[in-house]
Chain A
Amino acid sequence: MPVGAVIEFSSITKTFGSVTAVDRLSFTVEPGRVTGFLGPNGAGKTTTLRMLLGLVAPTSGTATIGGIRYRDLPRPLQTVGAALEAASFHPGRTARNHLAVYATAAGLPAARIDAVLHTVGLGAHGSQRVGGYSLGMRQRLGLAFTLLGDPGVLVLDEPINGLDPEGIKWIRGFLRSMADEGRTVLVSSHLLSEVQQSVDDVIIIAGGALVHRGTLSSLETEAAPRILVDSPDRPALAAALGRAGIEFSVGRTGLLAAAPDAALIGHIAFSAGVELSALHRERKGLEDAFLALVNETGTGTGNSSTERGESR
């Protein structure tokens, strides 16, 4: 079983001319967990991942896998599997031959080719030229390349783009199982909702700089500090909350209580003998928090305004 390694970015910076695409970014990615690498389009996610993989040279700072730069890895494909956004295939080559080229370069047995094609569900299409593949099939072939060396570290750039609902469900389960096996899984996305079901940790960047790092649940608490609670007898509920010293406002679907968790509100209502008809964290939560995080840093810094301008 391949073992995961810690990915570490240390003050990594990339400037293209006068534009700072990635600005002194530092964070680590732990094995055994799925880490979401989030940010709007143009935030510098792809550049950061390409620096990790030795494809783009950082202006300063370092990115390492298990303490080693990608270019110095003795067996790169067996250590790190990467699927990058751009479809990198020669259209005239079959999927099997595409993989065979890189299996040869990495010294991997030919048996791995059919094994990974089978894993990603392309077993029946291996002899087809890639030029005739759909976007979803290309994404799967990209994943097959990722798995070729059975690596302990997976780096996936926007893997959900272009997948059909069945494919999305499949990849979520796939990411989970990879992390459960102890591998390091780093997945980028510009949509939190796309990955929130499968990630444990989140790294959020905007304008090339880190704006949030932590577990998904910590983001949730930060994002939506209010609990929505409702009762058939609203005045009684309001009175009970008032007695307990909980601030609240009246919303369209109930009372919005400024409390850290729903259990406390439930307890108050129970003690006061008030029947509840709703009790949950305010729903707008996560995505809004994400947008708030990436927007507040974007305006004013100016260093990446051109970049994000294009992507909008």
Chain B
Amino acid sequence: MTSFSRAIGAEFAKLGTTRMWWVLAAVMFGYIALLAGGLAALFAGIESGVISPDAAGTGSQGLAGFGSLPPLIYSFASSVGYVFPVLLGALSTTGEFRHQTLTPTFLANPRRAQVLGAKTVTLFVVGAFFGVVALLASVGVGALVINAFDVDPLLADSATWALFGRTVLAMAVWSTIGVGLGVLVPSQVASIVIVLAFTQFVEPLLRFASLFTEVTQGIGNYLPGAASDALVGASFFTLAAPGGSPAAMLEWWQGGLVLLAYAVAATVIGNAVSWKRDVT
């Protein structure tokens, strides 16, 4: 075995021997299942006429302007769940600083860039696993509810499965963004606060605000959450567009590249800022 594959093995061992990964995965599953199930019931109810559009407050328009319902519900896996792989990635690096395990880590493998690379590869794989778990929640519960309202869950549609694949990819990249953030901001508390504040508050506000003019909308497309939604190809966020028309997003591959650029930038800068520093 090469030292890089051994380093990857060690990173998997690090994740697998603490409780963090499955606690985060379990919370993520419950959170997505709840939201996907609830909103699937609401929208499928409207679409099938069980709930009247007037009662739902969407006006006579219904969901006509928003495309089909199932992909929207399924995309909750990433549009709602992405914060979890980011947290896992950030904790995997900040934990090394916090518990001073960088010392044994660098003693066992003094090639630090290799360790960071191994961490990125490992978290990419685990992030993809989180994507699968998130889809189990959004599709498992969402499709069941949609089906119950006699709306087609589109599970036979190849486009739906392509969306699943892009969702897994997005979650994997988000996880590596977490790794990058963790080396950029090695303080665990600060990192968690940044992740939660940015994903739950700052970015949604920025994205919403950016929709008011065309120029800012173009810029807003490059926010990481918007890029992720572009990669996946459907987003609940577009429902919130002022005026009711879904905002134009980047192409899916452009969104993927933008997201990847965030991961690379954070990791490369973080490597110089904290990873190469003296371990005292």
A, B from the same assembly: yes
Given contacts A82-B107, A87-B100, A92-B19, contact A107 B1 (CB under 8 A): yes
Residues of A near B100 (CB, < 8 A) are 86-88
- Is A251 an interface position by the 8 A CB rule? no
Interface centre among B7, B18, B102, B111 (most CB of A within 10 A): B18
- Is A272 an interface position by the 8 A CB rule? no
**B81-114, CB < 8 A from A:** 95, 99-111
| Interface contact A55-B279, CB-CB below 8 Å | yes
Residues of A near B10 (CB, < 8 A) are 101-102, 104-105
Report how far A182 CA is from B105 CA in the complex, Å: 27
Query: Would you give the 0/1 interface string for A47-83, flagging 1 where the beta carbon is closer than 8 Å to chain B?
Result: 1001001111100000000000011010011001010
Residues of A near B6 (CB, < 8 A) are 104-107
Residues of A near B157 (CB, < 8 A) are none
- Is B61 an interface position by the 8 A CB rule? no
- Is A189 an interface position by the 8 A CB rule? no
CB distance from A56 to the nearest CB of B (A): 4
| Residue of chain A at shortest CB distance from B118 | A105
| Residue of chain A at shortest CB distance from B16 | A97
Q: How many contacting A-B pairs (Cβ < 8 A)?
A: 87
| Interface contact B105-A105, CB-CB below 8 Å | yes
Report how far A100 CA is from B108 CA in the complex, Å: 11
| Residue of chain B at shortest CB distance from A96 | B17
**B1-19, CB < 8 A from A:** 1, 3, 6-7, 9-10, 13-14, 17-19
| Interface contact B1-A88, CB-CB below 8 Å | no
Residues of B near A77 (CB, < 8 A) are 107-108
**A161-189, CB < 8 A from B:** none
CB distance from B273 to the nearest CB of A (A): 15
From A76, A86, A98, contact of B107 by CB (8 A): A76
Given contacts A88-B103, A92-B19, A145-B104, contact A105 B7 (CB under 8 A): yes
Given contacts A86-B103, A88-B103, A105-B6, contact A100 B17 (CB under 8 A): yes
Given contacts A73-B110, A76-B109, A94-B17, contact A88 B104 (CB under 8 A): yes
Report how far A42 CA is from B108 CA in the complex, Å: 27
- Is A248 an interface position by the 8 A CB rule? no
- Is A91 an interface position by the 8 A CB rule? yes
- Is B280 an interface position by the 8 A CB rule? yes
| Interface contact B108-A76, CB-CB below 8 Å | yes
Query: Would you give the 0/1 interface string for A263-284, flagging 1 where the beta carbon is closer than 8 Å to chain B?
Result: 0000000000000000000000
The main secondary structure of chain A at its interface with chain B is: mixed
| Residue of chain A at shortest CB distance from B278 | A56
| Interface contact B95-A90, CB-CB below 8 Å | yes
Task: Count residues of chain B with CB under 8 A from any CB of chain A.
Answer: 29
| Interface contact A93-B108, CB-CB below 8 Å | no
Report how far A57 CA is from B106 CA in the complex, Å: 13
| Interface contact B13-A88, CB-CB below 8 Å | no
| Interface contact A92-B103, CB-CB below 8 Å | no
Report how far A46 CA is from B17 CA in the complex, Å: 30
Report how far A76 CA is from B19 CA in the complex, Å: 29
Report how far A35 CA is from B95 CA in the complex, Å: 34
Report how far A76 CA is from B103 CA in the complex, Å: 13
| Residue of chain A at shortest CB distance from B19 | A92
- Is A143 an interface position by the 8 A CB rule? no
| Interface contact B9-A105, CB-CB below 8 Å | yes
Residues of A near B111 (CB, < 8 A) are 71
| Interface contact B99-A90, CB-CB below 8 Å | yes
Residues of B near A91 (CB, < 8 A) are 99
Interface centre among A54, A80, A90 (most CB of B within 10 A): A90
**B109-126, CB < 8 A from A:** 109-111
| Interface contact B106-A54, CB-CB below 8 Å | yes
- Is A116 an interface position by the 8 A CB rule? no
- Is A133 an interface position by the 8 A CB rule? no
Residues of B near A50 (CB, < 8 A) are 278-280
Residues of B near A203 (CB, < 8 A) are none
Q: A55-B278, A105-B109 are in contact. List 11 more A-B contacts (CB 8 A).
A: A50-B278, A50-B280, A73-B110, A77-B108, A91-B99, A94-B17, A100-B13, A101-B13, A102-B10, A102-B108, A104-B9
Measuring CB to CB, which residues of chain A are less than 8 angstroms from any residue of chain B? 46-47, 50, 53-57, 70-71, 73, 76-77, 80, 82, 84, 86-94, 97-98, 100-102, 104-107, 145
29 A-B residue pairs with Cβ-Cβ distance under 8 Å, sorted by A, are: A50-B279, A50-B280, A53-B107, A54-B110, A55-B103, A56-B279, A73-B110, A77-B107, A86-B100, A88-B102, A88-B103, A88-B104, A89-B99, A90-B101, A92-B20, A97-B13, A97-B17, A100-B13, A100-B17, A101-B13, A101-B17, A102-B104, A102-B107, A104-B6, A105-B10, A105-B108, A106-B6, A106-B108, A145-B104
